[in-house]
């Protein structure tokens, strides 16, 4: 294995070179799509793009995961090539990961676990996952890549500069959006906070017979290591190909129920709905994985979005202007094209505006047409940072449902969630957060969310 595959491309020059290679591959793919070219080259270029993104890890790999399941953005063969990013194929060497594991948990692998498989079962954007045994049970051990926070900081340093330039031509507060993204990535790098989110979601959905969230093993978890119970199940693509149409419809409704119950019922999103974060057992509830990218919202934001969703789903055009203004999305109401925006959101909420809807690739492609550079509201949208995560969830969920050929009464699921009272997700005080020391990316003198929760508890 080449040395570059045993670590992460962390130096500024290396990451700039990799970014250039990614841009070149993406440009060639876009040009081929523009001129209607199709063929084996799509897959070859996609594999090059996937390789560069995976070697960079962090943000680049996260973007690749999103692109891998958004139909209509890239050629289908490219989507298939990028799907490898959901599980990873170029792991960081175990020697590097082992050193971090032992330093984080304060003991040797042999002392900490009864057995430990050194071949990772998944190589994700922030860390790698291994199978091990602890106290007689199988567990999944996620170990963070050494130095991954530094690579993310480097990427965000570049993004901050670009966001300031982009903001000059629009009403969007680019730096605020980048700051919010940076905070979320910082939280993903603190596995103590992820453990708390995972336990909180597990408690919130404990009574649901068709949803299972793995239990955290707190005594084998830390800021950079997260150990959970092991769960079996088919991956998303195997399930989508092999499951019966009836089972696919059941699961599509369940995925949607989880998303909107989390948003409107808990005021919290697990904002990374990519296909690699689900397991589908032959018998038993669906397993929901990875609670690193979680966004909590204020009650005011949730209620404004709840009101707007109702107006759209119930086709109340006369109430649309007032409901949209309350969300803070409009920067200049006098120049804003409310008719165009109404058409756009009616398409976005089309799955919920009737009692029967079929998710297709054309639905996603038509949605992209509303976001072209020549759209009338491009420079008149304020785009609060919270709104970005809501869009990521909704369009990400829709893209997953397209892959399943989902069909059903999704309107009923959304209306039930809109009717549910808001109960803020209760984060537990886990033993895993009792460790002292500053959090990843923490500013001097500033308490992290994990510390705030510990203090409140």
- If phi > 0 it is left, if psi is from -120 to 50 it is alpha, else beta; for residue 328 that is left
Q: Are residues 9 and 82 in the same domain?
A: yes
Q: Where do runs of H (alpha helix) occur along 214-298? A: 236-242, 245-260, 266
Q: Where is the domain boundary, 54, 86, 118?
A: 86
Cα–Cα distance for residue pair 324/173, rounded to 1 Å? 18
Residue 417 above 60 pLDDT? yes
At residue 150, the pLDDT reads 73
The distance from CA 378 to its chain's CA centroid, rounded to whole angstroms, is: 25
Q: pLDDT tens across 357-408, in order?
A: 999 989 988 988 887 767 888 778 887 888 888 888 888 899 889 989 999 9
Q: Does residue 173 fall inside a structural domain?
A: yes
The distance from CA 2 to its chain's CA centroid, rounded to whole angstroms, is: 30
Q: How many domains does the chain have?
A: 2
Q: Where is the domain boundary, 53, 86, 119?
A: 86
Q: Does residue 408 fall inside a structural domain?
A: no
Closest CA to 218 of 229, 207, 232, 203: 229
Q: Does residue 23 fall inside a structural domain?
A: yes
Q: Does residue 179 fall inside a structural domain?
A: yes
Cα–Cα distance for residue pair 444/12, rounded to 1 Å? 25
Cα–Cα distance for residue pair 355/9, rounded to 1 Å? 49
Residue 62 above 80 pLDDT? no
Cα–Cα distance for residue pair 442/228, rounded to 1 Å? 26
CB 80 within 8 A of CB 43: yes
- If phi > 0 it is left, if psi is from -120 to 50 it is alpha, else beta; for residue 59 that is alpha
Q: Are residues 82 and 152 in the same domain?
A: no
The distance from CA 252 to its chain's CA centroid, rounded to whole angstroms, is: 18
Q: Where is the domain boundary, 86, 119, 140?
A: 86
To which residue do tokens 């990521």 refer? 392
The arithmetic mean of pLDDT across residues 423-452, rounded, is 47
SS3 441: coil
Q: Does residue 40 fall inside a structural domain?
A: yes
Closest CA to 283 of 356, 350, 234: 234
Q: pLDDT tens across 266-286, in order?
A: 999 987 777 888 999 988 999
At residue 19, the pLDDT reads 42
Q: Does residue 156 fall inside a structural domain?
A: yes
Domain that holds residue 69: 3-86
Dihedral pair phi/psi, residue 268, rounded to 5°: -145, 140
Q: Does residue 452 fall inside a structural domain?
A: no
The segment with the largest mean pLDDT, out of 14-23, 66-75, 113-122, is 113-122
The arithmetic mean of pLDDT across residues 308-325, rounded, is 98
Report the predicted TM-score, pTM, of the whole model to 2 decimal places: 0.74
Cα–Cα distance for residue pair 381/400, rounded to 1 Å? 27
At residue 442, the pLDDT reads 36
Q: What is the mean pLDDT of the chain?
A: 77
């Amino acid at each position: 294995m080449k040395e570059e595959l045993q670590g992460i491309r962390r130096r500024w020059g290396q990451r700039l070179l990799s970014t250039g290679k990614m841009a070149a591959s993406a440009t060639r793919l876009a040009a081929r799509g523009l001129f209607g070219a199709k063929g084996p080259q799509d897959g070859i270029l996609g594999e090059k793009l996937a390789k560069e993104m995976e070697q960079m890890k962090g943000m680049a790999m996260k973007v690749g995961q999103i692109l891998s399941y958004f139909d209509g953005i890239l050629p289908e063969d490219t989507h298939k090539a990028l799907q490898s990013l959901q599980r990873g194929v170029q792991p960081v060497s175990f020697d590097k990961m082992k050193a971090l594991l032992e330093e984080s948990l304060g003991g040797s692998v042999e002392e900490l676990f009864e057995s430990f498989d050194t071949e990772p079962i998944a190589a994700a954007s922030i860390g790698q996952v291994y199978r091990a045994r602890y106290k007689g049970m199988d567990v999944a051990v996620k170990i963070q890549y050494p130095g991954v926070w530094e690579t993310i900081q480097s990427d965000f340093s570049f993004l901050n500069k670009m966001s300031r330039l982009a903001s000059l031509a629009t009403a969007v507060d680019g730096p605020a959006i980048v700051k919010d993204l940076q905070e979320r990535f910082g939280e993903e790098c603190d596995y103590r906070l992820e453990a708390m989110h995972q336990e909180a979601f597990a408690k919130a959905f404990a009574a649901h017979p068709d949803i299972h969230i793995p239990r955290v093993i707190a005594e084998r978890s830390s800021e950079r290591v997260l150990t959970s119970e092991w769960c079996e199940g088919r991956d998303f693509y195997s399930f989508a190909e092999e499951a019966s149409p009836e089972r696919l419809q059941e699961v599509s409704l369940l995925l949607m129920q989880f998303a909107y119950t989390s948003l409107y019922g808990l005021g919290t999103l697990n904002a990374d709905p990519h296909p690699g974060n689900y397991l589908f057992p032959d018998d038993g509830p669906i397993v929901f994985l990875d609670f690193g990218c979680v966004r909590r919202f204020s009650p005011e934001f949730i209620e404004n979005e709840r009101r707007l969703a109702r107006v759209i789903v119930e086709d109340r055009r006369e109430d649309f202007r007032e409901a949209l203004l309350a969300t803070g999305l409009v920067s200049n109401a006098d120049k804003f094209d409310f008719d165009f925006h109404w058409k756009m959101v009616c398409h976005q909420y089309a799955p919920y505006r009737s009692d029967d809807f079929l998710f297709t690739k054309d639905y996603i492609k038509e949605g992209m047409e509303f976001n072209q550079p020549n759209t009338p509201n491009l420079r008149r949208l304020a785009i609060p940072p919270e709104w970005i995560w809501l869009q990521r969830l909704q369009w990400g969920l829709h893209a997953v449902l397209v892959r399943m050929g989902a069909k059903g009464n999704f309107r009923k699921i959304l209306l039930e969630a809109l009717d549910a009272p808001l109960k803020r997700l209760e984060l537990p005080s886990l033993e895993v957060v009792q460790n002292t020391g500053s959090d990843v990316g923490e500013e001097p003198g500033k308490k992290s969310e994990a510390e705030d929760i510990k203090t409140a508890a």
